[in-house]
């Protein structure tokens, strides 16, 4: 799976990455709220899975200056942009970026550590075919007492049906499928591994926020 999915992501983002941050600002909603709520402990480690252009990690680095930043993404094209942007932001020495599949990356091998105080996934689960596998894999990397946080497209339940159909049709062209079962999957995962789950909709269902605190 990983072999063809990385090529697919590279093909989508090879050119898109140059306009990605500017264009996504208007429709990947809820990312900054997630970052503001992260509140990692001083000196803590923050991992973004599906880190894309590094836009979120840079915002985390600015909001929480004493953190160590880690990012993994399946697309080398996106990582190339992320490395450049993080360098420009003066964060190269506190950030480690690596290519890997959200469902199977080896954190020890890539980052020299197995757990992180905060792990987050922003608008990536909707692009990962085995999103449940990615969710479980992400939770495994949360340190005890740490948090997993997620933001992604919601089910648009508070918005007109026509809007929902148009948005879902448009997203499908980019291999994006909003995961209606995400809140249930988070609760099941928290029950399974020991943790406190949460989830809520944002902007009348445009987006969904969820996550868990690991015991």
Residues that bind ligand SAM (CB under 6 A): 5, 9, 13, 24, 28, 31, 50-52, 55-56, 73-75, 78, 101-103, 122-124, 127-128
- Tokens at residue 125, please? 């689960």
Q: Least distance from C-beta 48 to ligand SAM, angstroms?
A: 6
CB 140 within 8 A of CB 105: no
Q: Which is nearer to ligand SAM, 52 or 183 (CB)?
A: 52
Q: Least distance from C-beta 27 to ligand SAM, angstroms?
A: 10
C-alpha dihedral over 3, 6, 117, 94, to 10 degrees? 120
Residues 6+ apart with CB under 8 A from 22: none
Q: Which is nearer to ligand SAM, 67 or 75 (CB)?
A: 75
For 103-117, give the DSSP string. Answer: TT--HHHHHS-S-EE
CB 72 within 8 A of CB 51: yes
Q: Which is nearer to ligand SAM, 123 or 206 (CB)?
A: 123
For 33-56, give the DSSP string. Answer: HHHHHH-PPTT-EEEEES-TTSHH
CB 64 within 8 A of CB 41: no
* Cβ count within 10 A of residue 22: 8
Q: Least distance from C-beta 85 to ligand SAM, angstroms?
A: 11
Q: Which is nearer to ligand SAM, 119 or 127 (CB)?
A: 127
- Tokens at residue 130, please? 């085995």
Q: Which residue is nearest to ligand SAM (CB)?
A: 52
Q: Least distance from C-beta 174 to ligand SAM, angstroms?
A: 8
Q: Which is nearer to ligand SAM, 13 or 206 (CB)?
A: 13
Q: Least distance from C-beta 108 to ligand SAM, angstroms?
A: 17
State phi, psi for 7 to the nearest 5 degrees: -65, -40
CA distance 202 to 212: 17
Q: Which is nearer to ligand SAM, 88 or 215 (CB)?
A: 88
Q: Least distance from C-beta 215 to ligand SAM, angstroms?
A: 26
């Amino acid at each position: 799976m990983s072999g063809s999915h990385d090529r697919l992501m590279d093909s989508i983002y090879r050119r898109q990455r140059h306009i990605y941050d500017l264009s996504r600002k208007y429709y990947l909603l809820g990312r900054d709220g997630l970052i503001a709520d992260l509140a990692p402990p001083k000196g803590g480690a923050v991992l973004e899975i599906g880190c894309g252009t590094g836009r979120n990690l840079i915002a985390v680095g600015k909001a929480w200056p004493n953190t160590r930043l880690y990012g993994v993404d399946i697309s080398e094209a996106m990582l190339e942009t992320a490395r450049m942007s993080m360098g420009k932001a003066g964060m190269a020495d506190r950030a480690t970026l690596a290519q890997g599949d959200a469902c199977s990356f080896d954190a020890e091998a890539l980052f020299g550590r197995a757990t992180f105080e905060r792990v987050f996934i922003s608008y990536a689960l909707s692009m990962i075919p085995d999103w449940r596998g990615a969710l479980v894999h992400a939770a495994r990397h949360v340190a005890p007492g740490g948090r997993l946080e997620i933001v992604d497209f919601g089910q648009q339940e508070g918005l007109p049906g026509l809007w929902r159909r148009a948005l879902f049709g448009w997203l499908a062209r980019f291999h994006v499928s909003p995961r209606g079962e995400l809140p249930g999957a988070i609760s099941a995962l928290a029950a399974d591994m020991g943790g406190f789950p949460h989830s809520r909709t944002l902007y009348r269902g445009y987006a969904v926020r969820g996550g868990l605190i690991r015991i």
